[in-house]
A and B are shown apart, each in its own frame.
Chain A
Amino acid sequence: MSEYRGLRRAHILANHILRSPSPSSNLSLTPEVCLQYSPPELNERYGFDVKEMRKLLDGHNLEDRDWFYGLMMQSNLFNRKERGGKGFVSPDYNQTMEQQRHISMKRILYLLENGVFQGWLTETGPEAELNKFALYEVCGIYDYSLSAKLGVHFLLWGNAVKFFGTKRHHEKWLKDTEDYLVKGCFAMTELGHGTNVRGIETVTTYDARTEEFVINTPCESAQKYWIGEAANHANHAIVISQLSINGTNQGVHVFIAQIRDQDGNICPNVRIADCGHKIGLNGVDNGRIWFDNLRIPRENLLNSVADVLSDGKYVSSIKDPDQRFGAFLAPLTSGRVTIASSAIYSAKLGLAVAIRYSLSRRAFSVAANGPEVLLLDYPSHQRRLLPLLAKTYAMSLAVNDLKMIYVKRTPESNKAIHVVSSGFKAVLTWHNMRTLQECREAVGGQGLKTENRVGHLKGEYDVQTTFEGDNNVLMQLVSKALFAEYVSCKKRNKPFKGLGLEHMNSPRPVLPTQLTSSTLRCSQFQKNVFCLRERDLLERFTCEIAELQGRGESREFSILLNHQLSEDLSKAFTEKAILQTVLDAEAKLPPGSVKEVLGLVRSMYALISLEEDPSLLRYGHLSRDNVGDVRREVCKLCGELRPHALALVASFGIPDAFLSPIAFNWVKANAWSSL
């Protein structure tokens, strides 16, 4: 066998030598003797209407998205280049940090000129907010720096003015922010305090004599850190600071400070330094800020929740400092929703590239002398990519659902949004990082080239796992909220309502001992397992905490000690919430091929989640045999999803120009004649 292989290899080499023409510039390598690129479209059939599927996935503002894609493709500012006969747009990441920051700002001004941001702060209502979400998502597909810069300006600075401020602030700042006459940043994080916002050390006092606030950075750990747009572009900052009135700390409050004049010079009593080069997002100018008793007018306190009167008297509509703090942080939810949705679009991008490549790249033969096998025809390759594809679908539907709840939010739904967005933000951003790593490996060495995007995106998106709330802390917040809900319902002896816990009011579902293929694919079974897992973990968690509290430990400490259960519980909660949104979306579809394929995707999502979670085995919900059945079914589903792989990534609606050369004719793109 090996001898035969050796012979064959020699034969091929001989052929190459004999056929290779003498090096001459006007002779082209004839494609017949080499590997030829065959576009996946030639061999794959669409088994469902990809337009319909795209409508389901993008969910809203499709025409606006397409317009925005076109706006970027047609402008020279977006670094168009041709590879293998196709045009691509993608930033030049080989530029210096300074150049990347500069061009990012120019791109924003181009979009501004085209009216992209019209109404982003001055219009309200679900439609305006959904349009904004859609454009952020599209932006992130081009470059996350661009999207992050807009996020700082509109979602952090702009929304802070909008939500924490009152009429006088709105009139003064919102329109100017929309027109970029004011460039804002959001100074919350400090060197010593990030996710723990309550611990920040910047202090603001009030001077009744001049009716001014005085902002001060008392020590090095209080320097504002990672402040996007602060290093170069911003001229105004939202400053989050402790407010000290007559020696009493009133807790965290929100102020507006001008940090640069109109010519871009740093204001007196403000010092700014650069955070320097980063592993990604180098188009964003993150900076550090120190305040040296900077004086700002009294009117610059954003006073929707609390105010300081001219004589220095502190007044607030919310007496409880804990609640007051909560009210301050509530608007940050929109940031988490945006992060979760852009994470999913990044995963889509990675999968579209990796799957298209795997439908045109071949490696190794199964039989000696046989043709090399298409990557995605290997069951192992399917197993690497298709479950991630199914998860991406499920999470895409889930984040759409979250967006809808967010834009239609009411005071009653705020708690649910807070908990769900925390869980989704963490799970979806982790999923993106994992997916990108798998995609990068799945395309082999090609994944190392920046122009192929999948590998590079890892650096760009990594920040999502810790900014706007560290993922691990957010997940703890989820299980704490569930714990509180459980305790409160039991104490008041009331049924569960909200957070999707209603299933706890019914008897525990019983799972069948034998799991057949049809059972495993049954939505009721899948729902039952997910509910059972959540219920059991929540009961165990509360039980363990109660026991520790019974032994005299504090509640906080008891929760800390149970971090493993906490982690399992928050994951179970989030995965169940995601499954529920897929089931809801599926139920709304008319019978047909889209619904059928989505059913396969949903089963894959459910079963891969079960396969990856050892807690089901650990707590005895599934037997060893059951787990084996789940595992086998995952492989079967891989085979059934394989024929739909191309259509499933086509349905992401990402234009070719935003993918990368290896997603298309990578032979031509790398040919000598293309140099």
Chain B
Amino acid sequence: MAVEMASQSQVLVEEKSSVRILTLNRPKQLNALSFQMISRLLQLFLAFEEDSSVKLVILKGNGRAFCAGGDVAAVVRDIEQGNWRLGANFFSDEYMLNYVMATYSKAQVSILNGIVMGGGAGVSVHGRFRIATENTVFAMPETALGLFPDVGASYFLSRLPGFFGEYVGLTGARLDGAEMLACGLATHFVPSTRLTALEADLCRVGSNDPTFASTILNAYTQHPRLKPQSAYHRLDVIDRCFSRRTVEEIISALEREATQEADGWISATIQALKKASPASLKISLRSIREGRLQGVGQCLIREYRMVCHVMKGEISKDFVEGCRAILVDKDKNPKWEPRRLEDMKDSMVEQYFERVEEEEEWEDLKLPPRNNLPALAIAKL
């Protein structure tokens, strides 16, 4: 009962005629997704899809964050208590939610007025409309945590222009609202002062046809200028370097660029890669590369295999170590193992993509059958 109450209060629901407004309400934790929140969201989204009176779903966050990610601290506690299977349940529900959103038959509008990271991207980017504002800060910071960009990121990052997705996914670079709009992670940009009016207008939508919401959003959207120092101005360098076959080659390509001209952005990029977990970098790159050729369902199934291996910690325990260094002890000094990129062999990377064998009752992620497979959700392999 107490749990039920918590999940009720952590996701607020408002009914405005044909529209449902969901508010992630865990402001102290920057709306990090707890297991209860994920279950509740999944339950609500499925119910709204069934309910023919619902035409549009708005998702937003209470406070200065939209959503700072999944509540991985709780997962790490489970792992440390020898119970990674609990963590597996968390991720399996989270990915299921991502899949339902990616194949949703009604329009989802996510209002990203603040921090959007990791799992926060997972509950927004798959939906039809993503509204960035001047307060938006987006990042996929997983490689610094010993994890990898999951929640279907291997699907959406790999579809960004050129090799921008590799850049964002490997370095954990932060993007602002203008950059999100430029690269396609956001579909619209609306100044935060106009959000209340926008929401009121959206509540008048009375049809499943997304063109109605689109028309309203288009009336509010702006085209902000990219900051002069924006990474998006460096797409040529990003494409030249992040297109390389391996992480090692990406870093040496960046280093070659750096020797040609001293440049703060390039050295910060190299620094970010050198600070990240070598194991994470390698599995992340491979995941994005595979994801580029797969549908969103296959991406999530693969990521679920990967995250189970990450939690099991047989190849590397960087996830626990990363969370310790960044979230718990906050010494920001993780001791990665393997320590160097060259110690993370191809055969070790390969293991993350295999089924989790010899584990009792472990199964691949089973996604619910969906009638509304959008063209992009279908791929082979």
Contact = CB atoms under 8 A, between A and B. Distances in A.
Interface string A62-84: 01101101110111000000001
Contacts of B289: 63, 66-67, 70
Contact of A66 (B163, B243, B249, B293): B293
Contacts of A655: 292-293, 379-380
A85 B381 contact: no
B381 to A, nearest CB: 6
B371 to A, nearest CB: 8
A451 to B, nearest CB: 16
Contacts of B239: 74-75
B290 A39 contact: no
Contacts of A69: 292-293
Contacts, number: 67
Contact of B380 (A73, A74, A656): A656
Interface in A626-675: 650, 653, 655-657, 664-665, 668
Contacts of B163: 74
A72 to B, nearest CB: 11
Interface centre among A39, A113, A114, A657 (most CB of B within 10 A): A114
A503 interface: no
Contact of A75 (B162, B245, B371): B162
B373 interface: yes
Contacts of A113: 240
A50 B375 contact: no
A51 interface: yes
B375 A668 contact: yes
Contact of B293 (A70, A75, A84, A86): A70
Contacts of A50: 380-381
A42 interface: yes
Contact of A85 (B286, B290, B376): B376
B244 A115 contact: yes
B243 A39 contact: no
Majority SS at the chain B contact face = loop
Interface in B246-293: 249, 286, 289-290, 292-293
B381 A86 contact: no
Contact of A665 (B162, B371, B375, B381): B375
B374 interface: yes
A339 B290 CA distance: 27
B245 A64 contact: yes
B381 A653 contact: yes
B378 interface: yes
B158 interface: yes
A364 to B, nearest CB: 26
A39 B380 contact: no
Interface in B340-381: 371, 373-376, 378-381
B240 A66 contact: no
Given A50-B381, A115-B244, A70 B292 contact: yes
B243 A74 contact: yes
Nearest to A116: B245
A114 B244 contact: yes
A41 B378 CA distance: 8
A71 B243 contact: yes
12 contacts: A39-B378, A50-B381, A64-B245, A66-B292, A66-B293, A70-B158, A74-B239, A75-B162, A114-B240, A115-B244, A655-B293, A655-B380
Given A63-B286, A71-B243, 14 more contacts: A39-B378, A54-B381, A63-B289, A64-B245, A74-B163, A75-B162, A75-B239, A85-B375, A114-B240, A115-B245, A650-B380, A650-B381, A655-B379, A664-B375
Interface of B: 158, 161-163, 239-240, 243-245, 249, 286, 289-290, 292-293, 371, 373-376, 378-381
